[in-house]
Structure 1
Amino acid sequence: MIDKVCTRLSNKIGRELQVSENEKAVIHYGLFAIIHTSISIGAIVLAGSLLGVLIPALILSVTTVILRKYSGGAHASSPESCAIIGVIISVGGAWLLSKMHWNLIVVIISVLVIFILGFYKVYQLAPVDSMAKPIRKQEKKEALKKKSIFTLGVYLVGTIGLLSIYLTKQKDIVLVWVMCICIGIFWQILTLTPLGHLIVEKIDLFLIHTILRRKGECTDEKD
């Protein structure tokens, strides 16, 4: 659906501006990125606000998205499925984390485990490309790996900063934010692995069958 809308818009803009097919493809890519990102963020903001976990959901989402930009990982078969999975992980994960009672020792152990696992798996596997967008140049692969490791380093500094704030302010919500960073990293690291690809594939198939079934029911009702 999103791709079809972008195709119509890019074709219309292309005709009015009289651009080449390559330039039209660039317009299509830009429109797709803007629309898909806007829908994803909007859905997370809406669902997060309704469940009272807006900030934790955004922290989890941003953590995953930025690391994913450089490390790659499993892809859903459609933008719609990708957006839905993002909302489920970000908002659902934030809601579950906010309902749990965290203590500092458990959080510190979680941080150590997640970051050790994260650095190891990123060094071992990243970047993970896709058949649609293979990464052929070794120089680019090495650059993306370094950026992935650097991103994890930034997350680690931010996490230490949040833990320092908790020690001075004693606000339990800060521990929830730290765990959102950890779960965001864990989910993204998982998508680099064969198991993560399988999980995303199963969720994707479930969403596709659900959407198709509903579309079929709507068509039957119209007939």
Structure 2
Amino acid sequence: MLRDKIVAYMVEADIIKENERKVYCFGLQLIEEMFFSFCVFLLIGILFGNVVETIVFFGAFAVLRQYAGGFHAKKFISCLAISCCIITTLNLLLIFFTDFTWAIIPCAAVGLPAIFVLSPVDSVYKYINKNEVKKYRKCSTVILLIEFVIMLLLVLTSKYSMAFCISYAWLVLSALLVLGRYKNRAGTRE
């Protein structure tokens, strides 16, 4: 694979040490998966004619999820399938409804407090120590506040479908946080 060749070159050129090879391979794998996922989501947005809204959702969700955490699927393909269902649902909602003012407040009313109270939630794939909990909670709170201001500006400028995409991202993330907490308490952390 290309990532293996890149990392091999980095080791040979003394950019990284041999014992760091696995970490860099894993990091490049995550970048590849994120890029591939974004391309698939973009394709779904193009197919439904909602490219900008799909990007708004992905941006709000991905940036916040990085610090909030939550449930993680065991395999990339499972994660991609679940994510495609979430993005497709968003796009179907955008097609079938023209007025989103009714949906923004309930999604935000559920998502905002849940994210604020529950985040960060670790998993078997990303353990968070006590120091990181404080840092991640602060980061997720700041991001949430920034997204809230952006959502308010979108509402004030009558861009209701885009504001809905942000509140929908919060609703989805809050569900993943609850599921992640449940799995952690059940002792599976998966």
Report the TM-score, using the length of structure 2 for normalisation.
0.82
Structure 2's unaligned 5+ residue stretches are 184-190
Does the 8 Å CA contact 2:155/2:163 hold for their aligned counterparts? yes
Aligned with 1:178 (options 146, 163, 168): 163
> Which residue pairs with 1:118 in the alignment?
111
Distance 1:90 1:196, change over 3 A: farther
Matches within 5 A, 1:82-121: 82-102=79-99, 104=101, 106-107=102-103, 110-111=104-105, 113-121=106-114
Deviation at 1:30, TM superposition (A): 3.0
> Which residue pairs with 1:23 in the alignment?
20
1:67 has 2:64 as partner? yes
Does the 8 Å CA contact 1:72/1:126 hold for their aligned counterparts? yes
> Which residue pairs with 1:189 in the alignment?
174
Distance 1:38 1:7, change over 3 A: closer
Separation in 1, partners of 2:8, 2:86: 36
Distance 1:75 1:158, change over 3 A: same
User: Which structure would you say has the larger Rg?
Assistant: 1
> Which residue pairs with 1:13 in the alignment?
9
Does the 8 Å CA contact 2:72/2:125 hold for their aligned counterparts? no
Separation in 2, partners of 1:40, 1:52: 18
Does the 8 Å CA contact 1:127/1:145 hold for their aligned counterparts? yes
Separation in 2, partners of 1:45, 1:103: 22
Deviation at 1:28, TM superposition (A): 0.7
Separation in 1, partners of 2:180, 2:135: 25
Matches within 5 A, 1:188-207: 188-194=173-179
Does the 8 Å CA contact 1:102/1:175 hold for their aligned counterparts? yes
Deviation at 1:143, TM superposition (A): 1.3
RMSD: 2.5
Aligned with 1:160 (options 148, 152, 157): 152
> Percent of aligned positions with the same letter in both sequences?
23
